[in-house]
Homo-oligomer: A and B are copies of this chain.
Amino acid sequence: MTELHFFEKNAPILLSEIVETLGAHCAEGAVNDQMISDIAPISEAQSGQITFLDNPKYVEDLAQTSATAVLCSKRYVTKVPEGVIALEVKNPYQAFAQLSSLFYPQAMAPLPFFGDEGGISQAAHIHPTACIEEGVTIEPGASIGAGVEIGSGSVIGVNAVIGQGVRVGRSCHIGANVVLQHSLVGDYVILHPGVCSGQDGFGFAMSPMGHSKVPQIGRVIIQDHVEIGANTTIDRGANKDTVIGEGTKIDNQVQIGHNVEIGRHCVIVSQVGISGSSVLEDFVAIGGQAGVAGHIRIGMGAQIAAVSVAKDDLPAGGRYGGVPAKPVRQWFREMAALKKLTEKE
């Protein structure tokens, strides 16, 4: 990176301290009093910096790296070039994440947008019946509606809209231009800019005379430690609640329909759509642009590949892909068979 940095760096750090913090293994005597000035991707790391190898795609870059040290798993230790210190760890990406938080502790949660010292901006609009705990930051243009409650340590970003009656827990970061209605948000939740949560679900009783609106009277429950990406939309429940389970991470531009229940620690990549009343059990992972049909159940730990579509219930633990989603092996066989078919002709 070049001139302008947005985060303050906590550096340099002694390499020996890094090794100890991460519980890394290295050749005896390799680590002395080296200082590490920064972290960097493997293709760009310079002397004095530390990098990591996780994706085998970048093994070739390993041979060329100028980094002082590299975090890697056991199998790559022998491929680390001479003059570079190999730091063996079990999970290099996890170790790198931990290391990043040492160098850039500020970046563990979004910075305030406006940049003031906290407190409640004079340019925020706060309903007299709202209940704001101590130590809350509310930035300019944010609106806090009637009866809202916000827990201590939370930051409400510029122009965010916290609709009447919404609860936001403690230590949350609500991004700029987020709109919350009919939502109950736990603690340590991060909502990135443009998230809309709690608007009416898409419920209409259709007929040749036109379509009648079905009142949507449920809520959105966002549990602790959830993170939700920019411009993602979550509809409130029709006649029960839409629920996002503890620790679940959702990327940008995901659509979550009414009554959906998402378990704990799920991972949902960008542009996924989850149709109404479906259930994701804990630790489900869904790749980008995939879809989940309505009224189905995805079993615990199931993984759905990018751009695939789950049309029916999927058992726990499996890996699925295709349209409709099937076990990945079957999906691969179908693609291969189709290719072969054209070769015959």
Contacts and interface: CB of A to CB of B under 8 A. Distances in A.
A270 B288 contact: no
Interface in A134-179: 139-141, 143, 145-147, 157-159, 161, 163-165, 167, 175-177, 179
Contact of A253 (B140, B141, B255): B255
B175 A177 contact: no
A147 B4 CA distance: 12
What is the predominant secondary structure among interface residues of chain A facing chain B? loop
Interface in A35-58: 39-41, 44, 55, 57
A108 interface: yes
A247 interface: yes
Interface string A202-234: 111111101111111111000001010111010
A278 to B, nearest CB: 11
A100 B214 contact: yes
Contacts of A113: 143, 145, 161, 163-164, 179, 181
Nearest to A246: B210
Nearest to A182: B6
Q: How large is the interface on A (under 10, 10 to 19, 20 to 34, 35 or more residues)?
A: 35 or more
Interface of A: 1, 4-7, 39-41, 44, 55, 57, 91, 93-94, 96-98, 100-101, 104, 107-108, 110-116, 121, 123, 125, 127, 129, 139-141, 143, 145-147, 157-159, 161, 163-165, 167, 175-177, 179, 181-182, 184, 190, 192-194, 196, 199-200, 202-208, 210-219, 225, 227, 229-231, 233, 235, 239-241, 247, 249, 251-253, 255, 257, 259, 265, 267, 269-271, 273, 275, 283, 288-289, 291, 293, 295, 306-307, 309, 323-324, 330, 333-335, 337-339, 341-342, 345
9 contacts: A4-B167, A5-B217, A91-B205, A93-B205, A100-B215, A113-B164, A115-B163, A211-B267, A213-B227
